[in-house]
Structure 1
Amino acid sequence: MPPSKSTTTSRDGTRIAVYDYGNPDAPTLICVHGYPDNASLWEPVAERLTADFHVVTYDVRGAGTSDQPSATSAYTLDRLQEDFEAVLEHTAPNQPVHVLAHDWGSIQAWHFITDPELQAKSASFTSISGPSLDHAGYFLRRRNRAALRQLLHSWYIFYFHLPWLPELAWRKGWAHRAFNRLEQQDAEENRSIGDYVHGMKLYRANVLPRLIRPAQRSTDVPVLAVSPDADPFVTTPLQTEIARWAPNLTVKVVRGGHWMPRNDPGLVAELVRQHTREVAGLEA
C-alpha cells in the first residue's frame, strides 16, 4: 500500500514532503535518506516494517519534492535539524521515535541525536554508512593508517567542493558512469538531476567546517552502527570506533555495499527490528 503524502514547513519556511506508511498505533520510525537519494530509497524497507512501526519518511531539503533552497547556507546541519524537528512535530509530537538513517541521512541524524533536547525524543538510532562529521574530525586527527585509508575513500568529497565542474558532470552524465563503476546500482529512475545538484550543498555547507573545528558531541541514545564490508565510501573504523561518543553502542559489520537499503532491504528491516526490540528489553 503506498504511503500518504503531506507537507510540513521548517523554521525558515522550507517545505518538506512527508510520507506516512500508516499504523499510527505502533512506535514511530523516522527514516532519513542520504545523497543523492530521496525518500523513495526507503520504500522497500518501509513495506517490510509497517507491521511493526508507524513508518515515516521525508524528502530532505534539496531532494525529491521538498523545496530546493538555492543558498548553500540553507543546508547546514542546524537547518537540517529544524527540518527533522518539523517532521517530528508533524507525525509524532507526543512520543519518542526510532530513527533509521543512511549515508548523509546518518550524518544528519548523528547531529540530531547528539543534541540534548532531541536525545529525549529519540528511542533508538540505526545508522548505516554514515558517521558524525564531528566524530570524523577527531578520527582523522589520529593521522594513523585507518585515518589515511578513510581519506583515500573520501576523494569525492574534495571533488564536490570544486566550482561548476561537479554540477556539469552530473548534468552531462559523466559522473553517473564514474560512480556506478564503484558500486553498481539501478536507481537512476527514482532520482532527478536536482537530487544530484542541490545535494552537493550538503557537503559544501558542512564538511570542512566540521572537520576543521569538530565539536565534542555525545549521546546516550542506543545506537546500532551498521557497516557494510564492501562500502567504497565509508570505512568500518570511521563508523564503529565511536564508543567514546556513544557508550550505548552496538556494532554490526555485514556483507554488502553502500546502498544497503536498496540492495538488501530485508536485512535492513531485520536489523532495525532486532535493535528496537533489544532496546525495549524484548527478546530479539
Structure 2
Amino acid sequence: MARLLHNLLLLTVGLTLKIRVMGYWSLIYGYCALCTGVALLKLGWNIILRPSTTFQWTVRETPPACLNDTSLGTHCYVRIKESGLRFHYVAAGERGKPLMLFLHGFPEFWFSWRHQLREFKSEFRVVAVDMRGYGESDLPSSTESYRLDYLVADIKDIVEYLGYNRCFLVGHDWGGIIAWLCAIHYPEMVTKLIVLNSPHPCVFTDYALHHPSQMLKSSYYFFFQLPYFPELMLSINDFKALKSLFTSRSTGISCKGRWLTTEDLEAYLHALSQPGALTGALNYFRNVFSVLPLSQSEVKSPVLLLWGERDAFLEQEMAEACRLYIRNHFRLNIISGASHWLQQDQPDIVNTLIWTFIKEGEGRKNYRNL
C-alpha cells in the first residue's frame, strides 16, 4: 500500500511538472504566434493604405560623413587565416598601448562605440570591431556560420592578429554575450571584462526558463527563427522598425541630449541596408540555441556590469544574479533612467564608471602585454 501511494505521488508530481512546462511553452509560443499575427495584420494594413511605399526601402550606397570622422580613428581590415573571413575595425590610440576591444550588439556596428573611442584612445589602443555579418566585415551566407563557437573564436583570432595576447574586453548586448563567453573560454586573454546590458549566459538561460516575463520580452528570439519574414518586417517602409528601435519611447535612447541625429541614424541604416546585412545580423539569433560546451561557467577576470534601468528587453533582476558566476572582483552599476543603448544613451556616466573600474586594483601598466 505504501509503495502504491509512493508511486501515485511520483506520478502526480510528474504530471504536474509536465502540465506546468506545457503551459509555460504554450504561453510563450502563443504569444509569439499572436505577435506574428499582429505583424501580418500591420503588413496587410500598410499594403492597403500605402501599396506603393510599403515594400520600398533604400540601399544607402554613400556612407554619411560621420562614418569617416577622423577623430574616431582609422578604418582597418584584417583577414583571419583560420576562418578566411575579413574583419573591418576602427582603431585609435598609439600602437603598443594596452588593447581595449569593443564588441557591439544587435542591430549595431562599430559606430555604437564612437563616444568610447574618443574617450579611451588617450591611454589605450582602442579597437571597435564590425563583428561577423555586420558592417564592412564579411557576411557568410550560411546560417551555420554564426554558431557561438565561431563567434568566440573570431574575437580570440582578432586579438592575436592585432599583436596582443590580452585585452580589456568591452561588450554590449550580443557583443556582451560573446565577451562573457570569451572570458569563460579564454580567461588568460581577458585582463578585465566590461559588459553593458547583457547578463551572463547561464543567468539569462536560467532566468528566462523560470520567469515568463523575461521569456515574453525575449519572444523576438523565436520570431527571428522564421526565414525571410523577419528581414521583410524590419526593412519595409524604409526600415521603419529599425528606426523605431533607437527612437521610440519604449525602446529608444532615453536621454534627451543623446538622441540620435539624422546623420547618426543614417549611419545605422547605411550599414543595415546593404545586401545580406539584415540576414547576417539575424543569423546570430538563429543560432542562439546552438550549444557551446562549457567545462566551467565561472569568470576569473574582474567584471564590471553596467545596466540601463529602462532596458526594454531585459529584466533588471538578472544583473545581480551574475555575481554567482564571478570568481574575482565584481562591480554592478545600474544607471538610472538609461535605456538598453547604454553607451550611447549615457556615455559620460558609462565612461566615468569604466575609468574607475580600470584604475581599481593593479595599474594599467602591468597589462602592456604584446
**Structure 1 pair 48/68, CA: closer, same or farther in 2 (3 Å)?**
same
When the two chains are superposed, the root-mean-square deviation of aligned CA atoms in Å is: 2.2
Aligned-residue offset at 1:176: 2.5
Counterpart of 2:218 (choices 154, 162, 165) is 154
Residue 17 (str. 1) matches residue 88 (str. 2): yes
The amino acid of 1:131's aligned partner reads P
Question: Paired residue for 2:266?
Answer: 189
Q: Distance in 2 between matches of 1:279 and 1:90?
A: 28
Q: Distance in 1 between matches of 2:91 and 2:161?
A: 11
Question: Paired residue for 2:204?
Answer: 136
What does the per-residue CA deviation read over 1:26-71, in whole Å, with 9 as the maximum and x for residues that have no partner? 3211010011101011112110111122111110011110000111
**Structure 1 pair 25/177, CA: closer, same or farther in 2 (3 Å)?**
closer
Matched-pair contact (CA < 8 Å) for 2:92–2:121: yes
What aligned pairs does 1:114-263 form with structure 2 within 5 A after superposition? 114-115=184-185, 118-141=186-209, 143=210, 147-172=211-236, 173-176=239-242, 179=245, 180-181=247-248, 182-185=250-253, 186=260, 187-191=264-268, 192-194=272-274, 195-206=277-288, 208-210=289-291, 216-248=296-328, 249-255=330-336, 256-263=338-345
Q: Distance in 2 between matches of 1:158 and 1:138?
A: 17
Please report the TM-score for the alignment, with normalisation by the length of structure 1: 0.88
**Structure 1 pair 219/184, CA: closer, same or farther in 2 (3 Å)?**
closer
Question: SS at the partner of 1:242?
Answer: helix
Question: Paired residue for 2:356?
Answer: 274
Aligned-residue offset at 1:244: 2.2
The answer to which of 244-253 and 183-192 deviates more is 183-192
Aligned-residue offset at 1:258: 0.6
The answer to which of 132-141 and 164-173 deviates more is 132-141
**Larger proportion of helix:** 2
**Structure 1 pair 100/168, CA: closer, same or farther in 2 (3 Å)?**
same
Counterpart of 2:172 (choices 102, 107, 111) is 102
Question: SS at the partner of 1:227?
Answer: strand
Question: SS at the partner of 2:100?
Answer: strand
> Gapped runs of 5+ residues in structure 1?
none
Matched-pair contact (CA < 8 Å) for 1:225–1:240: no
Q: Distance in 2 between matches of 1:8 and 1:107?
A: 23
**Structure 1 pair 214/230, CA: closer, same or farther in 2 (3 Å)?**
farther
Aligned-residue offset at 1:85: 1.6
Matched-pair contact (CA < 8 Å) for 1:137–1:210: no
Question: Paired residue for 1:5?
Answer: 75
Q: Distance in 2 between matches of 1:132 and 1:160?
A: 22
Matched-pair contact (CA < 8 Å) for 2:252–2:341: no
Question: Paired residue for 2:138?
Answer: 67
Q: Distance in 2 between matches of 1:109 and 1:53?
A: 18
Large movers: runs of 4+ above 4 Å: 213-216
Question: SS at the partner of 1:100?
Answer: strand
Aligned-residue offset at 1:101: 0.9
Please report the TM-score for the alignment, with normalisation by the length of structure 2: 0.69
Counterpart of 2:164 (choices 93, 99, 107) is 93
The number of residues matched between the two structures is: 273
The answer to which of 162-171 and 120-129 deviates more is 162-171
The amino acid of 1:265's aligned partner reads P
Matched-pair contact (CA < 8 Å) for 1:48–1:266: no
Question: Paired residue for 2:50?
Answer: none
Question: Paired residue for 2:109?
Answer: 38
Which of structures 1 and 2 has the bigger CA Rg? 2
The amino acid of 2:161's aligned partner reads H
The amino acid of 1:230's aligned partner reads R
Matched-pair contact (CA < 8 Å) for 2:97–2:125: yes
